[in-house]
Amino acid sequence: MKNILSTVTKAVAVAAVASTVSFAGPGMADGGAKFLGNITTRGQVQSDFGTYWNQITAENECKWASIEGSRGRYNWSGCDACYNWAKKNGGHFKFHALVWGSQYPNWLNGLSTEETKKAITAWFDAVAEHYPDLEMIDVVNEAIKSGGSYHSGYGKNNNIIPALGGDNGNYEFVATAFKMARERWPKAILIYNDYNTFRWQINEGIDLVNKLVKQGAPVDAYGQQAHDLTDMNESEFKSALNKIQTSVKNAKGEPMPLYITEYDIGTDNDSQQKQRYSEQIPAFWESKQVAGITLWGYVYGATWTTNGNSGIIKNGQDRPAMTWLKDYFKNHLADGKNETGLADASTYVPPEPIARKMFKGSAFEIPGKIEAEDFDISGRGETDGVSNVSYNEGDDENHGDAKDYRKDTTGVDLYKKATGVVVGYNSEGDWLEYTVNVKEAGDYTFFAAVAAAGSTSSFQMSLDGKELTDKISVPAASAGEDNYDDYNKVKANVTLPAGKHILRMTVTGAWFDVDYFTFVSGKDATDPEPIDEPIDEPIDDPHGVISLDQHMNVNRVQDYYVIDPMGMRMGVLSAYGFEAATEILKNSSVVKSSGVYYLRNRWTGEMRSIRVVR
């Protein structure tokens, strides 16, 4: 083993001259601009680990269930083995993970919100006491929400989400976890970690991290598990990497550092595995925005993929991908770039709050009319305890044709139709907020001009975070499968307090368009702008909350081949069961056309057909 002190001294000297970070330690990347790491093998640190790697992550040994299987009783032995290896060998250790909807202790199931909050707080405190000097932490793992469900089992027999402050569309519970982590580890690098983020849910991942930053959550880096790259060609891969690097911003508005956290190429095809390594590893190593690379296993037969086929050492012999990897780092170590500023201490700087602004310059007066497209201009963080984030949109693309009406939004879909401009393509979980000024406290009648092609669309109004109405169903168009031009009026009686408030419209059932809202003094008041015949009574939602039958395997992510209607394999996505995979597929921007697609489990071979409508 090399003299660590000598290597560190040289690395610091190089860093001072080149203004870059040099990670010293054992392994192939010794002295490089960033680390090249790996994980434990069957719960153990292999004797040859330091021959290849200079960063370690415990595959399972640092997860909550592994450490606190019985409440209040902690077994740190497996996690300690990784932590101590890094300390003794000049390597780097990442704690994986504090909050995850899977592999949490069974005793957490069924606890009340208050008891869950106490348990999470005690868990954070215990980790902080045992490891006060952590360098890197996966604070939250797998929380992307799509199609009404999260990547892992958040909310499935547990109260993790409400215990950490809930989720009103901005992943507030995730932001809370990061704030808790920063209080306990002021110098650690705090990472958000997730899967399917290169291909199937690239937009959702970008959206999540950007929402956290807007709330002032101390996120230092975005972790890409990178399990979805086996079937991704070089052009698509580089395009996706570029999109992530240019779309995710830190609190300063600069590109956020990335970590490749769980890289693997699961295939028995040696040629394909080597090809993907040769296409992708250099892109990561030579990217100034990637702060480190961790492979998710290296011993064939001992990794999580089918038959452990992501391993690059088989029966003690290097597979071609490993031979290539050794050669690359021998000849291209100096090609590594790292301008992230992330070394042994976080460079996180709490952002200054940016107050929301009213789109028209002043609050909307009630009684009066509010154009749906004139929601507040979003800010950042909080001002006087009120969030400055003024909208939530499920994707970052404006599908509408009124792109010039507003330049301050990301993805809210504006269309030129009805009485001018409308907000369309509303999906479940989207919301918009408006600053209003209620002239007098009392009863009012609320009207909304809305249009929907189907009968499952609905929304709900709230004021300062409190429900103002029940769910209000949007009537379906009288004719036409894709008719969003048949506008109707819906109404509800509401009681409002006087003064300035934040009014929110939350989409509870997709899909519909909304043109404007009107508040008229008094109960059951007359609509000043009726469309055909006004609706006389408030409409109750006959559909209730949309629910999904999701029997997810909360213990293990599984891989599914995606096959298009022509029988061509599109790639591999990861999910906790068929139901979750179905929701990911249906909501993925990768799928452009309607038709019958197929999912086949890589392990069991089971196949299911999925009808996708676009």
Among the listed residues 32, 80, 76, 81, the one whose alpha carbon sits nearest the alpha carbon of residue 54? 32
For 269-298, write each residue's pLDDT tens digit: 999 999 999 999 999 999 999 999 999 999
Higher per-residue pLDDT: 319 or 594? 319
Distance CA 568, CA 551 (A): 28
Judge whether residue 123 has pLDDT over 80.
Answer: yes
Predicted confidence band at 526 (pLDDT cuts at 50, 70, 90)? very high
pLDDT, tens digit, for every residue of 460-510? 999 998 999 999 999 988 775 667 888 999 999 999 999 999 999 999 888
Q: Determine the Cα–Cα distance for residues 457 and 486; give it in Å rounded to an integer.
A: 14
The 3-state secondary structure of 517-566 reads EEEEECCCCCCCCCCCCCCCCCCCCCCCCCCCCCCCCCCCCEEEEEECCC
Q: Are strands 313-314 and 317-318 parallel, antiparallel or unpaired?
A: antiparallel
The yes or no reply on domain 364-521 and CATH 3.10.620.30 is no
Reply yes or no on whether the pLDDT at 432 is more than 70: yes
Please pick, among 61, 135, 142, 371, the residue that the annotation labels catalytic: 142
Cα–Cα distance list, 472 to 4, 58, 108, 212, 523 (Å): 66, 48, 35, 29, 17
Q: Is 445 left (phi over 0), alpha (psi -120 to 50) or beta?
A: beta
Q: 433 an active-site residue?
A: no
Average pLDDT, the chain: 86
Domain 4-335 = CATH 3.20.20.80: yes
Judge whether 513 and 417 are in contact, CB under 8 Å: yes
Cis peptide bond upstream of 372, omega within 30 = no
Active-site position among 172, 262, 393, 579: 262
Alpha carbons within 13 angstroms on the beta-carbon side of residue 470 total 11
Least confident range of 95-99, 205-209, 309-313, 550-554: 550-554
* pLDDT over 90, % of the chain: 60
When pLDDT is averaged across residues 587-598 and rounded to a whole number, the result is 82
Comparing CA positions, the residue from 38, 147, 146, 167 lying closest to residue 99 is 167
Domain map of the chain by residue range? 4-335, 364-521, 558-612
- Check whether 23 has a pLDDT greater than 70: no
Quote the pLDDT of residue 394: 62
* Mean pLDDT of the 47-62 span: 94
What confidence tens digit (pLDDT) does each residue in 370-406 have?
999 999 998 877 777 778 888 887 666 677 888 889 8
Output the pLDDT for position 464: 92
Could you read off the pLDDT of 306-363 as tens digits, one per residue? Answer: 999 999 999 999 999 999 999 999 999 999 999 888 754 444 455 578 889 999 999 9
Q: What residues pair up with 409 in beta bridges, in sequence order? A: none
Which range among 145-149, 172-176, 452-456 shows the weakest confidence by mean pLDDT?
145-149
Active site residue 606: no
Torsion of the alpha carbons at 263, 269, 271 and 275, rounded to the nearest 10: -30
Distance between CA atoms of residues 35 and 24, nearest Å: 8
Q: Please, are residues 459 and 508 in contact by the beta-carbon 8 Å criterion? A: yes
- The mean pLDDT of 132-151, rounded to a whole number, is 91
539 token code pair: 């409409």
**Contact 366/496 with Cβ under 8 angstroms?**
yes
